Amino acid sequence: MLKSVGGLTAAVTLGGAALVAPAAHAAGLTVVEHNTDDPRMWYYRFQTPEIGWNPGVNVLLPDDYHTSGRRYPVLYLLHGGLQDFIEFDRLGIRAMTAGRPLIVVMPDGGPAGWYSNPVSSNVGPRNWENFHIHQLIPWIDANFRTYAEYDGRAVSGFSMGGFGALKYAAKYYGHFASVSSHSGPASLRREGGLVGHYINASSAVAELGGGTVYGVPLWDEARVSADNPVERIESYRHKRIFLVAGNGPDFLNIVDMVTEGQVLAGQREFRAALDAAGIPYEAHEEPGGHFVRPHLLQADIDGVVARLRKAA
């Protein structure tokens, strides 16, 4: 380990506890499908003008949510590329949060949406940033007992989602008191903008039908700078910062080498900038390449609970 110093809602009851039924319309979202049969993991699918298909969201509730009457802090947990909103359930998020007084929101972010509003799309709207920040967060606060404030929210993610977490925490400073990046890139311009070019290429192939997040052949430079963590260092001051990168990618796997190699170099550049600014953080470099490390995700969750406002 390395360290450096509103919508409309309706109440229903279950066992005498008030529950919130999903608002039909709130924050520009329309619930088109939902399942709340599981006492902890509630599922929703939305129709929204910001996305050209109906994205899903899993909302993982604390064990005592239905009986306590308390309000809870919220962790927004963002998946990686070519994954979906179910990914963290596959990785055991229910066990990791058992007994923790924390709501975890896990939204779709597209196969290569990069938690952005793209410069161009040939397949209809893919404004993931608008969906998450301007629609989903207000919808969650309208429909669940949350703290709708800075000290009530954290954002974390893996790979593409780790980048999204760093980006959202900087661009929307007042939204999140804690930010975590598990193998997420933190520098878009290093080595001739290799990561930025990769974002454009992957989004063109897997998300936007030839469109791009930042534009080609010329980037929208203002957009890149607004999204680039190493150019937004002051926006991380007074936040809890938790970083993870692998320092031993598979040399026989060129994708792993390029991906985690760039992640590690970019996070080191980011940490150096934080050090220069006197902004504390917690960072981990561990053997291996580009994958979620469950013990560090667990440590991150416990750190989020410690940092955010306590359930009450």
Active site residues: 159, 256, 290
Give which of 120, 108, 47, 119 is closest to 77, Cα–Cα.
Answer: 108
Q: In what order do the strands lie in the sheet with 56-60?
A: 2-4, 281-286, 240-246, 178-182, 153-158, 74-78, 103-107, 56-60, 41-47, 29-35, 25-26
- Give the start-end residues of each E strand in 38-191: 41-47, 56-60, 74-78, 103-107, 153-158, 178-182
* Long-range contact set of residues 299-302: C-beta below 8 Å, sequence gap at least 24: 299/242, 300/156, 300/180, 300/182, 300/242, 300/244, 301/75, 301/96, 301/97, 301/100, 301/102, 302/100
Q: Which residue type sits at 70?
A: R
Q: Count the Cβ atoms, other than its own, within 10 Å of residue 174.
A: 8
Query: Could you say which DSSP state residue 62 is in?
Result: P
Residues ≥6 apart with Cβ < 8 Å to 140: 59, 74, 103, 105, 146
